[in-house]
Structure 1
Amino acid sequence: MSGDLRHAGPSGGPDTASELPGREVRPAGTPKAVGIVWALLGLNTLGSAGAKTIVTLPRSLIQMATMGALVGAFALALALNLRLRIRPSAFVFLLTLLLVPSVIASANLEVGYGALFRCARLALFVGTLWLLSRWWDGSMTFVRYHIRMYFVALGTVAVGLAISPGTAMPEYYGGRLVGALWPLTPPQIGQYAAVIIGLTVLLVIGRRTTGGSAALIIVPSLVLLALTHTRTATVGMLIGLTLAIGSLVLTSAAARRFFVWTVVVATVAGVVFYSALQSWFLRGQSQESFSNLTGRAKVWDALLAAPRTGGEKWFGVGLSDKSFGGLPIDNSWLAVYQEQGLIGVTIVAAIILVLGGVALLRPPSLARACAIFLISYCAISSYTEAGLGDASPYLLHLALAGALLTAPATVTPAPAAAVPGRRVPRWARR
């Protein structure tokens, strides 16, 4: 898999040396260390709270590892980009603006000093993305980084399941798959699996990897996704893939064939396995529990009904652990409203709208399809998952979408060489 994902398709990076006449020669390729920076950002967003593991890991130790990964990512990115060359990015600019309400609200210390720590974490996260933007060029480079990074995370889940099935599928999570080596929750595992399945399917359609290599990623990821019983990730993946493949249907015969076969297989499977699929989707819950989204609606209603000052309404109460009254909020928009106020909600909405608008304006391509998949997946997941207002896997997915939608760097034509007896035009002497 790694060989195909690494070498398939054109590189096309902004630093790729050009041998065309009249074009300047630039540094070759994206440094391999950029992939390490991306992996460290992913490690930072894994979180420190979750399921019980085979070997109990102190939360302080996990937090040191994740925060150390972020500091290491920023330091390495800075070492790779000492001249601070960055690409214009509306996505990262809006993330930088999001720091303003975060800092203003967190400075009140209403939720404690942890809010300022989370602001520093978000600032380092955004700063690292600015440094990496130098290598954003619409190529598949960061897609491969993304797939490898989360496939390794899923590998630890699979190893934990093999070593201790009881710990990996505990009763307190309803028998759903969790991380037995690293404290990953079922929604996290489902998210990682759904994202890399979708991206790998698109790479196959775009002929950037082989079917055999893709199967090594897709099949085990599908198994892990099924064991998590994560409805949000599954629905987000299916809708995201439908929109992404639909964007390629008019220009790709492979996309048309895949779309037709998927519809046929899904229809047959839906008829034959309807009862099993319904049982998996309901997860043994009652109709009442399913209708109020496993208790989420009660938390949402209480959050919206809580009294707020004018400052809390517009700027929020500061970055916290995405909970209200001791219960998880599990909704990105309400979490942002709670922590960064209406200003934060407006900025996050602008991020989604800008990325979606740019994706719609781009001509059909594999990069555009991958970006559409990631944007739609994050938009759908935002209804039952929090993370759009702080350093999280969802912001990393959107950062990848931003990298895919970044146009290749323009190359400045070299001035015409002086020829004896020939007058050089004035524009060439400037």
Structure 2
Amino acid sequence: MTGTQPGVEARPAGTPKAVGIVWALLALNTLGSAGAKTVVTLPRSLIQMATMGALVAAFTLALALNLRLRVRPSAFVFLLTLLLVPSVISSANLEVGYGALFRCARFALFVGTLWLLSRWWNGDLTFVRYHIRMYFAVLVTVAAGLVVAPGTAMPEYYGGRLVGALWPLTPPQIGQYAAVIIGLTVLLLLGRAADRASAVVIIVPSVVLLALTHTRTATLGLLIGLVLAISSLVLTSSAARRFFAWTVLIATVAAVAFSSALQSWYLRGQTQENLSNLTGRAKVWDALLAEPRTTGEKVFGVGLSDKSFGGLPIDNSWLAVYHEQGLIGITIVATLIAVLGGVALLRPPSVPRACAIFLISYCAISSYTEAGLGDASPYLLHLGLAASLLALPTAAATPLATTAVPRRRVPRWARR
């Protein structure tokens, strides 16, 4: 009790540094094992061992940090736990092979780790900084690969788009990581939770890498997400108002002066027909919806797969969930997004709330052309970060002033 002021309860210990390691391990697990060709060929089995080992290590370390299994009530993690039910039921049929059960175990470990980490979700920016550091480290490896082997990093089979030359990362993955940390860093800067020098070091190279990936979904998600997030701060932050006004002005001038260059970047050399069917995605979607299904497959899905149909990627979170977890899975995921969005709207304006709005809107936009809302993925990790930002501070997280009880005066004759 030394150093504690009278009438004020002591602050609990802060978030252990090892929690940041757990979060980084979760992010490492979601990097995936399939992607571009690398400078040094890495066997896929070795990459899978590394990513799965990272998840096991994350769960083990989180359990060691939270041996008493203290967790916070979280609608987000509860809904993810419910999503495990149709995943296991459909995967048990082995329609897509034994890999479905392996993916269920991976998903269960992922959700279990989030439950263990929920103890430290207090609505502050601690996990935002973990998120930025981890994905910026990933982008550093991408930039290093570009310097070491530019031909491998921007191959012709990807149309000259930036890929991971040291770790097999695809252009959409790199674009996603860059867009997310750009958006979060901008919001921290507006909220004066980050200094300008650090923000510039993160934002400038991330913007360059995002441009080199030519990823339209990540760019649109970044722009729309930032507009929504900054709009939530406009009424309470003069810095947000100035940034919003200057951004609109600069964007208008750029759209007029560089319209042809922007259009060329957006089209990526594709024809209008190819662009209209979303680079072939629409054909896969039509085939998936036209596939005959039993009642059980419609309700529970066919089991967790590699997010492909007919050998081609599905590239749509909602159709992937419908294919793998059925109508029950779609209902749970839609409820999850709606709950996070509703809670974000009810919270008072703040930087954590703005970051949560950015992440939720980004994931909702990306879900149209990217899969990942029904299984362990970076998108669920982004939404987990949003859930941590929307958590209310626990009563023990802040000093509580106690009402001083007046001491009763004892008469002199009673002291004898």
Question: Is TM-score (shorter-chain normalized) higher than 0.5?
Answer: yes
- Residue 89 (1) aligns with residue 69 (2): no
Counterpart in the other structure of 1:165? 150
Query: Which contiguous aligned blocks of 4+ residues in structure 1 show a shift greater than 6 angstroms?
Result: 412-422
Deviation at 1:210, TM superposition (A): 1.2
| TM-score normalised by the chain length of structure 2 | 0.95
Deviation at 1:191, TM superposition (A): 0.0
| TM-score normalised by the chain length of structure 1 | 0.92
Q: Measure, in 1, the Cα distance between the counterparts of 2:403 and 2:319.
A: 55
Deviation at 1:340, TM superposition (A): 0.2
- Residue 301 (1) aligns with residue 301 (2): no
Alignment of 1:8-407 (within 5 A): 19=4, 21-407=6-392
Write the letter of the residue equivalent to 2:251.
A
Q: Measure, in 1, the Cα distance between the counterparts of 2:222 and 2:290.
A: 33
Q: Measure, in 2, the Cα distance between the counterparts of 1:107 and 1:189.
A: 34
Write the letter of the residue equivalent to 2:239.
A
Q: Measure, in 2, the Cα distance between the counterparts of 1:167 and 1:326.
A: 25
Write the letter of the residue equivalent to 1:71.
V
Q: Measure, in 2, the Cα distance between the counterparts of 1:80 and 1:370.
A: 27
Deviation at 1:27, TM superposition (A): 3.2
Deviation at 1:413, TM superposition (A): 7.8
Q: Which runs of 5+ in 1 are unaligned?
A: 1-16, 423-430
Write the letter of the residue equivalent to 2:125.
M
**What's the RMSD between the two structures over aligned residues?**
1.7
Counterpart in the other structure of 1:7? none
| Number of equivalent positions | 406
Q: Partner of 2:166: helix, strand, or coil?
A: coil
**Any conservation in 2 of the 1:18–1:25 contact (CA below 8 Å)?**
no
Closer, same or farther: CA 28–391 of 1 in aligned 2, 3 Å = same
Q: Which runs of 5+ in 2 are unaligned?
A: 411-416
Deviation at 1:98, TM superposition (A): 0.3
Closer, same or farther: CA 107–261 of 1 in aligned 2, 3 Å = same
Write the letter of the residue equivalent to 1:271.
V
Write the letter of the residue equivalent to 1:196.
I
Q: Partner of 2:239: helix, strand, or coil?
A: helix
**Any conservation in 2 of the 1:18–1:24 contact (CA below 8 Å)?**
no
Q: Measure, in 1, the Cα distance between the counterparts of 2:243 and 2:147.
A: 33
Q: Deviation per CA, 1:389-410: give whole Å up to 9, x if none.
A: 0000000000000000000001
Closer, same or farther: CA 165–92 of 1 in aligned 2, 3 Å = same
Q: Measure, in 1, the Cα distance between the counterparts of 2:132 and 2:49.
A: 25
**Any conservation in 2 of the 1:176–1:229 contact (CA below 8 Å)?**
yes
Write the letter of the residue equivalent to 1:181.
L
Q: Deviation per CA, 1:314-365: give whole Å up to 9, x if none.
A: 0000000000000000000000000000000000001100000000000000
Q: Deviation per CA, 1:145-203: give whole Å up to 9, x if none.
A: 00000000000000000000000000000000000000000000000000000000000
Closer, same or farther: CA 238–388 of 1 in aligned 2, 3 Å = same
Percentage identity across paired residues of the two chains: 81
Higher mean C-alpha deviation, range 21-30 or range 198-207: 21-30
Deviation at 1:212, TM superposition (A): 1.4
Deviation at 1:301, TM superposition (A): 0.3
Q: Measure, in 2, the Cα distance between the counterparts of 1:232 and 1:410.
A: 40
Q: Partner of 1:139: helix, strand, or coil?
A: coil
Closer, same or farther: CA 18–99 of 1 in aligned 2, 3 Å = farther
Write the letter of the residue equivalent to 2:262.
L
Write the letter of the residue equivalent to 2:269.
G
Deviation at 1:420, TM superposition (A): 7.7
Closer, same or farther: CA 134–23 of 1 in aligned 2, 3 Å = farther
**Any conservation in 2 of the 1:18–1:26 contact (CA below 8 Å)?**
no
Q: Measure, in 2, the Cα distance between the counterparts of 1:251 and 1:421.
A: 50
Counterpart in the other structure of 2:414? none
